[in-house]
């Protein structure tokens, strides 16, 4: 291979060289770099979009939800009795990271100008409030039974700010039960269907509004360690439940949303296929031109005893260097653009249309590695076709033509 490497280095274009192979090599490097840049950015953005939407939906509804089998409406829950033994069994299931109790209660907020429907979400002590802390834009989380957290959407529609009183009425049988809350904080997720509906309070408040004792809850929420193992963990959790309780995964609770997110994977596959083709065509074009321009040199090498395999390896080494250079440039540009977007959020989005205020980017080293290796493999396979033409070059013909 020392001979092939030496000749391949001599084939590297130099400033002032005549012919098309030099400029076309630069174009092929740019083509590969552009393809890698587009592929990495497309995968990173779509993965970031899927991650952010999933995190927001899970933040409101957890990964797994345990509720009663009895029928209930969206605004009236059938309670279940808290069972410490069941809670311990569920916490011990492999893959379960956290278990928490909750309850919801439908009601409406009345102001001097309008009436607005809400769903009060009561959180138990020990509830994982990481999501709400991350989405908090003003004030604090509720610290008592008479405090609530509202969304910026609800606040804007009703003219409520931190510290204001919120007059609320809840359905209880055939009558309404009034309750006044103080707005302790305002959150924003940009997930319209959630921001327009949920008001966050305490579980004790919902229990009092429903005339429940302290052991009745609306259900349990379970967080898992790895979202990719959601179904497997769900099956193990379901095996621990008694007959009167049912388990619902977050994908079952929001089937349309997660079907749409899965559909984005098709777009990723299409983009990867197209850009790999573009990169391969750019490199193959440069290699074909170089073979045509170096046909006399190929004939001379064969006349001196070089085999077809040795000459083919020379051009493959030359083309591989172009591909690797293009991949390195594309990865560097993608990383720089991703870091700029994450730091400064240069590309903004309409929250009402996209459920987020800026373009999300997921920085995953595996994306860079797999895209780079995939591009290299596709380009090398594509290069086998033009190098096959080397075997048809005869020294007698090329040397006669050169003369």
The structural domains of the chain, with segments of one domain joined by +, span 2-55+258-402, 70-243
Rounded mean pLDDT of the chain?
A: 87
- Full-model pTM: 0.83
Cα 47–Cα 51–Cα 57 angle in degrees, nearest 5: 145
pLDDT of residue 9 exceeding 90, the answer is: no
pLDDT of residue 178: 92
Helix (H, G, I), strand (E, B) or coil at 355: coil
pLDDT of residue 193 exceeding 50, the answer is: yes
pLDDT of residue 355 exceeding 70, the answer is: yes
pLDDT of residue 18: 44
Name, in order, each residue with C-beta under 8 angstroms of 323's C-beta and a sequence gap of 6 or more.
32, 279, 283, 375, 376, 379, 380
pLDDT of residue 21 exceeding 90, the answer is: no
Asked which of 11-15, 114-118, 380-384, 388-392 is least confident by mean pLDDT, the reply is 11-15
For the four alpha carbons of 208, 214, 219 and 223, in that order, the dihedral sign comes to: positive
- DSSP label of 213: -
pLDDT digit string (tens) for 203-223? 999 999 999 999 999 999 999
pLDDT of residue 402: 47
pLDDT of residue 12 exceeding 70, the answer is: no
Helix (H, G, I), strand (E, B) or coil at 358: strand
User: What is the distance between the alpha carbons of residues 397 and 289, in angstroms, rounded to a whole number?
Assistant: 18
pLDDT of residue 329: 96
Record the tokens describing residue 330, joined without a space.
Answer: 């594309």
Residues of the chain with pLDDT > 70, as a percent, come to 86
Asked which of 35-44, 116-125, 164-173 is least confident by mean pLDDT, the reply is 164-173
pLDDT of residue 300: 66
pLDDT digit string (tens) for 57-72? 999 889 999 999 885 5
* Strands (DSSP E) found in 188-315: 198-202, 216-217, 219-224, 245-249
pLDDT confidence bin for 305, thresholds 50/70/90:
low
- DSSP label of 357: S
Cα 123–Cα 124–Cα 128 angle in degrees, nearest 5: 75
Asked which of 95-104, 181-190, 298-307, 390-399 is least confident by mean pLDDT, the reply is 390-399
pLDDT of residue 13: 53
Q: Cα-Cα-Cα-Cα dihedral of 297, 301, 302, 308, to 10°?
A: -90
pLDDT confidence bin for 285, thresholds 50/70/90:
confident
């Amino acid at each position: 291979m020392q001979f092939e490497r030496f000749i391949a280095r001599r084939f590297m274009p130099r400033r002032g060289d005549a012919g098309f192979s030099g400029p076309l090599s630069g174009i092929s490097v740019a083509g590969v770099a552009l393809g890698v840049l587009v592929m990495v950015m497309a995968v990173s953005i779509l993965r970031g979009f899927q991650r952010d939407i999933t995190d927001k939906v899970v933040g409101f509804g957890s990964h797994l939800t345990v509720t009663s089998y009895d029928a209930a409406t969206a605004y009236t829950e059938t309670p279940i009795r808290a069972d410490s033994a069941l809670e311990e069994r569920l916490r011990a299931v492999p893959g379960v990271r956290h278990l928490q109790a909750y309850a919801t209660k439908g009601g409406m907020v009345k102001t001097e100008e309008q009436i607005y429907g809400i769903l009060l979400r009561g959180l138990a002590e020990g509830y994982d409030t990481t999501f709400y802390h991350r989405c908090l834009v003003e004030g604090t989380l509720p610290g008592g039974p008479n405090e609530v957290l509202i969304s910026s959407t609800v606040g804007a529609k009703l003219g409520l700010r931190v510290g204001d009183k919120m007059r609320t009425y809840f359905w209880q049988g055939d009558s309404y039960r009034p309750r006044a809350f103080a707005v302790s904080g305002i959150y924003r997720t940009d997930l319209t269907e959630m921001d327009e509906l949920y008001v966050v309070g305490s579980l004790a408040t919902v229990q009092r509004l429903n005339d429940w004792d302290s052991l009745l809850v609306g259900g349990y929420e379970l967080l898992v360690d790895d979202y990719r193992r959601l179904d497997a963990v769900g099956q193990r959790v379901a095996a621990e439940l008694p007959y009167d309780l049912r388990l619902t995964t977050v994908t079952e609770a929001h089937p349309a949303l997660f079907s749409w997110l899965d559909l984005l994977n098709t777009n990723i596959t299409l983009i990867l296929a197209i850009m790999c083709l573009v990169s391969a065509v750019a490199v193959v074009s440069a290699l074909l031109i170089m073979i045509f321009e170096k046909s006399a040199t190929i004939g001379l090498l064969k006349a001196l005893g070089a085999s077809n395999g040795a000459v083919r390896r020379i051009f493959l080494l030359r083309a591989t260097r172009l591909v690797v250079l293009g991949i390195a440039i594309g990865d560097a540009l993608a990383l720089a653009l991703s870091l700029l977007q994450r730091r400064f959020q240069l590309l903004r989005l309409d929250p009402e249309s996209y459920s987020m205020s800026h373009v999300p980017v997921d920085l995953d080293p595996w994306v860079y590695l797999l895209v780079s290796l995939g591009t290299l493999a596709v380009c090398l396979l594509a290069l086998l076709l033009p190098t096959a033409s080397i075997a048809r070059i005869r020294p007698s013909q090329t040397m006669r033509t050169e003369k």
